[in-house]
Amino acid sequence: MSDFSFAPADYTPTGMPQYDGNPLIECLPKILSDIDVVRRVGNHPKRPDEAERALDPKLRGHGINRLKDVVVPFEIHLRLEDLFSQLIRYGYTGRNPLLVSSVRHRMPSSAEIQRQGFMSTAETMTLIGLSGMGKTTALNSIAKLYPQVISHSRYKEQIFIETQVVWLKIECPHDGSLRGFCSAFFSALDVALGIDKYSRKGGAGNSISVMLQHLSQLCKTFYIGALIIDEMQHLCSSRGGQDREKLLNFFVTLSNDAGVPLVYVGTNAMLPLFSGVLRNARRAAGMGPIAFDRFTEDDPFWSHLVSQLWAYDWTASCAPLTDELLATIYDLTQGNTDFLAKLLMLTQRHVIWEGIDSITSAVLQQVYDTQMRLLHKPIEALRSGDPLQIADFEDMMPTKDQIAQMMNYDLARRADRTHLSLLTQASFTTPAEPIANPVAKVASRPLVPVAEGSLKSAHFSKDEDVQTQLEQRGWVDKDSAW
């Protein structure tokens, strides 16, 4: 870590009144145009030429790995960059270090003093999508448009010695535990700062509550601009759900009290995390979710992507991409970018090793049948289009289908509750008064058990105290604790 260095702050006004005068924002790179984003986010390694295709097969096998580094920017990359840019800058508007309220807020004193005059401007962005669709790769490319750590020394005419961590990326622990999350945070911060200091605080000797407090304080100390939390679906498998709820609650607290914008990243399997608690769902939808779903066969972006990757061909013949090959490739990958890269790389290796003349549809099918067997079930599920088959692979279900499934489950649960409520009412109703079609007839107000002949007074009055009404009807004693 001896060669680690910070980017020195270089301040440039943005022209936006809510940003100018804030050194944490003025030191950031300029806001990029779409053309600049395409040029800087996209990654096109050197394509193999005739000389490289004439090399020894062993060397060409190494060249094939270059295909993994290709990043083809699409419209979704432009949207992601734009929202990430807004997320960081707007999050800093409430933490201007030149304001007294921000200085007071950073002090590790009582929560009352910290909150005095401080209003968080932190938003939350959610990046979801199918496994293997390039979510993490896209976000990494966009985060690297910003220096991770900036060193301040002087702003205009005043001394301003601070270290600013623009973004910090951590992976959710595989067991979704609080201690694992804290340890991952401390380790990532050490790596960003080029030190070995905070990782020790994740040891077994420290209590979780102390670690969480320290984590929150470090977010304030280093002005963390965005905390990127990858692999959020791991929270769905946390033990007993206790750590999961505590961690989600902590994210809300971190956003409110420390003013840190959050970026949730995960497969569609993480969607149930936000279905039960309103504030979690509200936060996750803060800047609108960005969904990376698989391509359809007639999507022009799919054809463009395949043609870009097809150009990285280390086989001797370098066959042209035909409509037949394009159709076969879609059938064997179902529009998943990771499956596409795997199929092309495995096929090229097979052609080179076996001395085959060129890539054909038959060769693609052979490679799929023999070397991609582990992926047959999910690909066949996607090919079928059957939601029940796709549901067996949570992280493969399209976002809209996952949300629809959750809504259907919620509607069924509500229907069960309504049915139970009406059956309870019926059990306290006299036999001479049967309830016809109880599922279809839904009560408009809460019901309580009633005595014979008192059905008209069964409803609670909204404007009166419930305890008083129960006492008036003789259902509880005045001295009872209800």
DSSP 297: T
Position 451 scores a pLDDT of 41
In this structure, what token pair is assigned to residue 427?
């059990």
Position 437 scores a pLDDT of 46
Closest CA to 364 of 382, 381, 379, 342: 342
Residue type, 260: V
Closest CA to 220 of 365, 109, 57, 353: 109
pTM for this prediction? 0.75
User: What sign results for the dihedral spanned by CA atoms 235, 241, 246, 252?
Assistant: positive
In this structure, what token pair is assigned to residue 223?
């002005």
Q: What are phi and psi of 234, to 5 degrees?
A: -65, -25
Q: What three-state secondary structure class fits 3?
A: coil
User: What sign results for the dihedral spanned by CA atoms 39, 44, 50, 52?
Assistant: positive
Q: Which residues does 103 contact at the CB level (< 8 Å), separation at least 6?
A: 97
Q: For residue 83, how many other CB atoms are within 10 A of its CB? A: 19
Residue tagged 């090793």 (tokens)? 353
CA distance 28 to 90: 12
Candidates 3.90.220.20, 3.40.50.300, 3.30.365.10, 1.10.101.10; CATH matching 7-31+74-292: 3.40.50.300
Longest dimension (CA), the chain: 97
User: What sign results for the dihedral spanned by CA atoms 452, 457, 459, 464?
Assistant: negative
Q: What is the DSSP string of 212-254?
A: HHHHHHHHHHTT---EEEE-GGGGGGSGGGHHHHHHHHHHHHI
CA distance 276 to 286: 16
CA distance 335 to 358: 23
DSSP 445: S
Question: Can you give 76-124 as a three-state secondary structure string?
Answer: HHHHHHHHHHHHHHHHHHCCCCCCHHHHHHHCCCCHHHHHCCCCCCCCE
Q: What three-state secondary structure class fits 71?
A: strand
Question: What strands lie across the sheet with 290-292, from one edge to the other?
Answer: 168-171, 227-230, 262-267, 124-129, 290-292
Residue tagged 């607290």 (tokens)? 253
CA distance 12 to 20: 9
Using alpha carbons, list the distances in angstroms from residue 349 to 50, 65, 120, 200, 227.
17, 10, 53, 45, 39
DSSP 143: H
Alpha-carbon dihedral angle through residues 161, 149, 228, 80, given to the nearest 10 degrees? 110
CA distance 332 to 347: 12
Position 434 scores a pLDDT of 47
Q: Please report, in tens digits, the pLDDT of each residue of the chain (482 residues total).
A: 434 568 999 999 999 999 999 999 999 999 999 999 999 999 999 999 999 999 999 999 999 999 999 999 999 999 999 999 999 999 999 999 998 887 877 776 545 544 555 678 889 999 988 877 888 889 999 999 999 999 999 999 899 999 999 999 999 888 778 888 999 999 999 999 999 889 887 666 678 888 888 999 999 999 999 999 998 888 876 554 567 778 888 888 888 888 899 999 988 778 777 665 444 555 555 566 788 888 999 999 999 999 999 999 999 888 999 999 999 999 999 999 999 999 999 999 999 999 998 899 999 999 999 999 999 988 888 888 776 766 666 555 455 454 444 444 444 444 554 555 555 555 544 444 444 444 443 333 333 333 444 444 445 455 555 556 555 655 445 554 44
CA distance 89 to 121: 10
Q: For residue 321, how many other CB atoms are within 10 A of its CB? A: 16
